[in-house]
Structure 1
Amino acid sequence: MRHWETTYEKWRTYKNLNPDLKRELQLMHDDKTMLEDAFYTELTFGTGGLRGVLGPGTNRMNIYTVRKAVNGLANYIKAHIINVNERGVAVAYDSRYMSREFALETAKVLGAHSIKAYVFDELHPTPLLSFAVRHLGAAAGVMITASHNPPEYNGFKVYNEDGGQITPDEASNIISYIQKTEDELTVPYLESEALESQGFLTWIGEEVDQAYMKELQGISMLSTQELSKDKDLEIVFTPLHGTAHQLVLLGLKQLGFNHVNVVEEQAVADPDFSTVESPNPEEHQAFSMAIALGEQTDADILIGTDPDADRLGVAAKQPDGGYAVLTGNQLGALMLDYILSHSNSAALKNGRMLKTIVTSELGRKVAQHYGVPTIDTLTGFKYIGEKIRQFDETDETFIFGYEESYGYLISDFARDKDAVQAAVLASEMAYYWKRNGKTLFDALHLLFERHGYFQEDMLSLTFKGKEGSEKIASIMENIRKEPLTEIGGLQVHYVEDYLVSERKAITSGQTGRIELPQENVVKFVLENDSWVCLRPSGTEPKIKCYFGVCEESEDAGHERLNDLKAHMENVIT
């Protein structure tokens, strides 16, 4: 009997198996391919936590895989964090299937370890979980979310005591504790009644929300006199069936933005995300209903958050009256310019801007213009959060952090990307430019005229299942064995391999060390300030290829991007 069959039999014959999961297993009985995929491995605990398809099996998200992860987390924090039992763990959840159930399962297992759980009493955004960890002084945090993945997914995301996503070192330690749990089916837990009666479960909500809203008001660059004034700005907002509805509206209202039209069909917390193909503001189709409402109301700005409200998309009015969805790189550069242009020199003296290695170089140009250094991190906001934590021990000041995938952080009272903060600041920025007779689209082109026409794109290919994982590994292995020397007609100057922390010049062969943590990423630095970066996703069965160019015009940039994409698509497939 093969290994996966042994594991399947253990689940199938377990007398106390959850009835819903048992029924699903019975339906899968004759589908050997589906069974093998569900049991051939354990769901990978990546650098942030678990994420996977819902269903029975060790390679699926279910109460047993969650319990095992929580058991490992509990043992880890008891061994490495002080006063864990008194400080407890903050837990939040989004609008997905099984999110509330997984949040309660988290509390149940923590309770068996005599660790208190602070669980939000209703669905809440990811940045509120990050804030709650810091506000409550908790030992760790857990967010039940799969962000903008399809409806069949859910996830278990872990935060450290600083409120940031766990670092790779922390993740490795947690994984070692998870692996010590041999049987996911028999992890100890307390029933709900015992959990509350013994004081291991506290429901939280309004008090934490109010504390967050007070901090949120502080990110405004408006004068005290302007804060309370009614703002002449027409806004359309969609939470894309997720968690941001109430908090974004409250955040806008307390700054005087009262002319907000919500896409009501998408204000419903719907785990099927029934009005969109994908609940991802990176996908322009997610804005179709917001654009229609914007045209009806003659809106100045359209804003949309993903289901767990850590990503924000914005559409700006164009000269013809239509709307253009800004890229994450463009919106980040605009917000950075707005913040820096409204900050005094004393505040910027030790300021630092943070971005990832696949984020546009336009941000660096903007920061340089105001005398602010830029620090690059690896891809993933956890690295930005980790860098902010280091600033707590230096004389450096966090000014702004962003990544190309629509993640932004304006103020570090949260330590993860925060779409609530970003929604409020983007609206304020649109108001500023409107008062100056311009749209955000106009403001973007002012940046291009000053710094160059930077453009970026990304190619994402999905390879599902066991064969897909092997395909992705093969692609990365081959790209390292035979590094490209030319891409899309441009010569490669350097190859940066972050797995071995080495930067190698193609012509001379000289090497240098990359002072960043090791990660499975290869970046090609090309002539003409262009670059290509290849990396497997840490949370999805995808391999992603990022592109950046800077040309003399938009048209030239589009043409260059198309050449680079066509070349790399041929290489990958």
Structure 2
Amino acid sequence: MKEKNQINGGKEKMTPLERYKDWLAKLPQEEEMRQELLEIEGKEEEIADRFYQDLDFGTAGLRGICAAGSNRMNRYTVSRAVQGIADYVLETGENPLRGAVIAYDCRYHSKEFSFLAARILLASGFRVYLFPDMRPTPELSFAIRKLRAVCGINMTASHNPKEYNGLKVYYQDGAQIFGEVAEGMAKEIKERDLFSPIREMDFKEAQEKRLLIFPTDAIDEEYLAYVKKQSVRDGEEIDPSVSVVYTPLNGAGSTFVKKVLCKRGFSSLHIVKEQEEPDPEFTTVGYPNPEDPKAFLLAEKLGRETGAELLIATDPDSDRMAVEIQEEDGSYRFLNGNQTG
């Protein structure tokens, strides 16, 4: 077993096995995770991997495999992180009624974790703007600034495999946290015991108090208009003969990227049907990273069928993209980030 010890919420150092037993002792009998842990009893390597540390919180927020354990994404690790984020914001003196914006992607537990985060923030006195459906990470960033919110959370593991989920944190400038803010939030989180009580407010009470707001389509339209204006050729007509293939890799980019391209005038737009709808299994790609050329296999197939000159792919939360261009012989060449820029 791994030799690492970990301080648990300020308590004495515990070995992975001790922490495993501590979880079993504290989890309610009816808790599904308790049964999950009983099934790994005696499996030293598995116990070590799940319990040798707390899931690390940094500039990327939280990210890990969804399962029971202190080094996993689950209701307990997510709750502690969200409460720590709330405590940090409150200690800085920011007004929680400015609001926190919450979004999520297509992954397993993303919606569940986002609603959990909303209930915790509401109980801590925050107004919460909760997107009712999937949204791309860039729209979350836009919404934070547009609504003048104090922070935002997106439940996503970006381009990681299907077993993963994560929690990305953005501050009032719409940027991902870093430096003193990330360190301050991490400190608040580490000081909390995973099993210390955390208050939640149900949505009915929150709506009665006008603390819970579900953003309307209006902010989607404002975001799309803003994105269109970022084009260095905004206002110029697009050659209608230019053929484009797009794949969201079964993620959150599907609706919004299509709308942006259509609004910009790309009339010959083809979507990879097998990868158009949300799929937490990522059945057709396995590793949904557009920077992996293998993610373009279905896009290339459709490109050959349609004669497309440009192939575009985005990751599950649509904050990462890659492109391929058609060569003279009809083949496609993958461009790295520097070439795309």
- Taking a change above 3 Å as real, the CA distance of residues 286 and 18 of structure 1, as seen in their structure-2 partners, is farther
- Taking a change above 3 Å as real, the CA distance of residues 329 and 103 of structure 1, as seen in their structure-2 partners, is same
Structure 2 residue matching 1:13: 3-state secondary structure: helix
Contact 2:67 2:74 in 1 (8 A): yes
Partner of 2:108: 97
CA RMSD of aligned residues (A): 1.8
Shift of residue 94, structure 1, vs aligned partner: 0.6
Shift of residue 185, structure 1, vs aligned partner: 5.1
Measure the CA separation in 2 of the matches of 1:143 and 1:205. Answer: 18
Partner of 1:42: 54
Measure the CA separation in 2 of the matches of 1:301 and 1:48. Answer: 31
Shift of residue 20, structure 1, vs aligned partner: 2.7
Partner of 1:473: none
Counterpart code for 1:234: S
1:142 matches 2:140: no
- Taking a change above 3 Å as real, the CA distance of residues 212 and 286 of structure 1, as seen in their structure-2 partners, is same
Structure 1 residue matching 2:264: 3-state secondary structure: coil
Partner of 1:11: 23
Shift of residue 36, structure 1, vs aligned partner: 2.1
- Taking a change above 3 Å as real, the CA distance of residues 285 and 76 of structure 1, as seen in their structure-2 partners, is same
Measure the CA separation in 2 of the matches of 1:113 and 1:59. Answer: 25
- Taking a change above 3 Å as real, the CA distance of residues 18 and 119 of structure 1, as seen in their structure-2 partners, is farther
Shift of residue 26, structure 1, vs aligned partner: 2.2
Following superposition of structure 1 onto structure 2, how do residues 228-239 of structure 1 map, counting pairs within 5 Å? 231-239=240-248
Partner of 1:388: none
- Taking a change above 3 Å as real, the CA distance of residues 8 and 196 of structure 1, as seen in their structure-2 partners, is farther
Shift of residue 287, structure 1, vs aligned partner: 0.2
**Cα deviations across residues 90-124 of structure 1 (Å, max 9, x unaligned)?**
01111111000110111111112111211111011
Counterpart code for 1:93: Y
- Taking a change above 3 Å as real, the CA distance of residues 34 and 127 of structure 1, as seen in their structure-2 partners, is same
**Cα deviations across residues 247-304 of structure 1 (Å, max 9, x unaligned)?**
1111111111111110010012111111013101111110000000000000011111
Measure the CA separation in 2 of the matches of 1:273 and 1:197. Answer: 39
Contact 1:65 1:184 in 2 (8 A): no
1:298 matches 2:301: no
The structure with higher relative contact order (CA 8 Å, sep 6+) is 2
Partner of 1:127: 138
Q: How many residues in Structure 1 have an aligned counterpart in Structure 2?
A: 329
Partner of 1:116: 127
Shift of residue 192, structure 1, vs aligned partner: 4.0
Shift of residue 75, structure 1, vs aligned partner: 0.7
Measure the CA separation in 1 of the matches of 2:266 and 2:29. Answer: 51
- Taking a change above 3 Å as real, the CA distance of residues 323 and 138 of structure 1, as seen in their structure-2 partners, is same
Which of residues 51, 70, 88 in structure 1 aligns to 2:82?
70
Partner of 1:219: 230
1:32 matches 2:41: no
If the length of structure 1 is used for normalisation, what is the TM-score? 0.55
Partner of 1:161: 172
Shift of residue 42, structure 1, vs aligned partner: 0.4
Shift of residue 56, structure 1, vs aligned partner: 0.6
Q: Alignment identity in percent?
A: 38
The structure that is strand-richer by fraction is 1
If the length of structure 2 is used for normalisation, what is the TM-score? 0.91
1:202 matches 2:227: no
Structure 2 residue matching 1:28: 3-state secondary structure: coil
Structure 2 residue matching 1:254: 3-state secondary structure: helix
Partner of 2:267: 258
- Taking a change above 3 Å as real, the CA distance of residues 290 and 18 of structure 1, as seen in their structure-2 partners, is farther
1:170 matches 2:181: yes
1:269 matches 2:281: no
- Taking a change above 3 Å as real, the CA distance of residues 236 and 17 of structure 1, as seen in their structure-2 partners, is farther
Instruction: Point out the structure with max Rg over C-alpha.
Output: 1
Which of residues 76, 79, 82 in structure 1 aligns to 2:94?
82
> Which 5+ residue runs of structure 1 have no aligned equivalent?
333-573
